[in-house]
Copies of this chain bind each other. A is one copy, B any other.
């Protein structure tokens, strides 16, 4: 077991080559293209679909691929057998494929054991999954830990199935192998880390979660070009078992995680939402809240709940990491969730681009956030002498002026930039300009240098 973990050591690339640019500058089109390329692959929590996906991510960012062997005990769980699938179908007695894995990989119950048999309608029905509320869509269903086989199909089709002898075939394998995930660390000045995590285990579903993969890649590309305060750890992992596995083998490292968020459902047309970490008022929670509030558009701040994505693992009581979750429409609140309707048309370039922009701003807040001390704390300094005040008195103050005054007033060593920005509710850009100007004027100094 130790040797199994040994080969997981990651190497942090000093420079990131970015062969294919995913920046937000093209209105999100390159990200949507990447989603389109990833869409057809049949992913699950293990197997070649995951490897293929990570290979494609590697074309954008220098990922380290990690393979964890089946059977490894990770906390209360065991890394499962590796699942792969070549083909699957239901044929009617006329030999026609009426349900065909090659047409849509959602048709197969995830982790189905292999089967090849002929059965009547009533027996077949025990293995069929549909969604009566959306009779034209194929639902997404899995059975990772209870051996089973099954097919998912539109409810309308299920209802119309005639009595017949059906040939069912699932050419899958469940064998000792590996759980595969990708990890990228961008080294900053501090060994403190920001965790950005997305899952890579869903088959042909776009918003949940190819959108998260694309946005995470774009963030990594962007941050790779910056001088960073924090180190950034990007995880591309199977949901649940992936984060549990990672947290188990990285247990001693987790105290380095200072901030973090999960990325999921970030490509739909809904307004942005952020679900706070279990702590509720972690710095990352306050940063996202400020950023979404400042955007001037609709947004939601959702309190932590132990249901959702991998934040439920990161926020389990024994870890309690300051990790929230950034989404647009939250899981389960759009009818297309976990169905074939979560397809390429459900995610759009503009939303992907906006998600990247908002995440970069939240990250910038965390990067820049520190406490300053007003160097002239007894009454206001004579700002005009520093070129920081209009010489003609009697008029109202603009945003920059107000930012200068707020920063001076609140920088008593107890308030951080984020505290001040949230209090005065001014744009982050303005706050940063004012901090720079006040620093250059010698009026603000950091309480302590970055540790």
Contact = CB atoms under 8 A, between A and B. Distances in A.
A197 to B, nearest CB: 13
A231 B145 CA distance: 47
Interface string A86-115: 000000000000000000000001100000
Contact of A142 (B75, B248, B315, B393): B393
Copies of this chain, whole number: 3
A392 B143 contact: yes
A143 B393 contact: yes
A332 interface: yes
Contact of A379 (B143, B248, B379): B248
A244 to B, nearest CB: 4
Interface in A229-265: 240, 243-244, 247-248, 251
Contacts of A110: 393-394
Contact of A411 (B317, B397, B401): B317
Given A76-B385, A129-B392, 5 more contacts: A140-B394, A244-B380, A307-B402, A317-B408, A338-B395
**Most chain B beta-carbon neighbours within 10 Å: one of A109, A393, A396:** A393
A278 interface: yes
Interface stretch (A55-63, A360-368, A370-378): A370-378
Contact of A382 (B77, B320, B381, B384): B77
The 3 closest A-B pairs by CB, nearest first: A318-B377, A146-B391, A306-B409
A5 interface: no
Q: Which of the four size classes fits the interface of chain A?
A: 35 or more
Contacts of A424: 305
B316 A377 contact: yes
A141 interface: yes
A405 interface: yes
A316 B379 contact: yes
A332 B192 CA distance: 46
A125 B110 CA distance: 78
Interface in A351-367: none
A410 interface: yes
A204 B19 CA distance: 69
A11 to B, nearest CB: 26
B148 A391 contact: yes
A251 B140 CA distance: 66
A406 interface: yes
A412 interface: yes
